[in-house]
Amino acid sequence: MRAETLFLVFTYGVAPAWALLVFAPRWKWTQRIVHAVVIPVMLALAHLGFMLFAAAPPEGASAATLEGAMRLFQEPWTALVCWIHYLVFDLFVGAWVVRDAIRRKVPHLAVAPCVLLTYLYGPQGMLLYFIVRFISRRVLTMDEATGSTSAAALPSEETPVSGRLVKV
């Protein structure tokens, strides 16, 4: 299969997960599909496989300089590996934004544009979410010990955090 074809498969393959985050963030299947490790693990395995067996960075390619990084994208298989890297981390951030918003009770209508922006432009969506979250909840931390980690209520249990027990 060509790198171009796989690029499209991966790009459009994650789109349903993003749709679930935008349109059905509290649905049980969103919890089971998007907030589980299945998608990131599949993408990570593809990333590893292409990195080991298909990608051959061009002469002078490197992440140490801008010119070297630009050369990474000149070879289709190496560019595909880099693209999968973006897909994994953007989806991770988008899923975190939704979980954090649910945990902090930030209205989803305010969060949905942040998720869409994260899908399209990564860090800009996260930045917008931090702004929305600050305006609606006056929160400036990424501490997750303030509530449950999913839309469904989790059973109460004590978890050690920084040497102390915290109820989650």
pLDDT of residue 22 exceeding 70: yes
User: At how many degrees (to 10) do helices 123-137 and 108-121 cross?
Assistant: 160
> 């931390």: which residue's tokens?
141
Question: Residue 114: which residues within 8 A CB-CB, separation 6 or more?
Answer: 97, 125, 126, 128, 129, 132
Q: What is the pLDDT of residues 100-135, one digit of tens each?
A: 999 999 999 999 999 999 999 999 999 999 999 999
Express each pLDDT in 143-155 by its tens digit.
876 544 444 443 3
Are the CB atoms for 115 and 21 separated by under 8 Å?
A: yes
Specify the pLDDT at position 158.
Answer: 42
Instruction: Give the global pTM.
Output: 0.80
| Residue 107 identity (one-letter amino acid) | P
**Mean pLDDT on 10-32:** 95
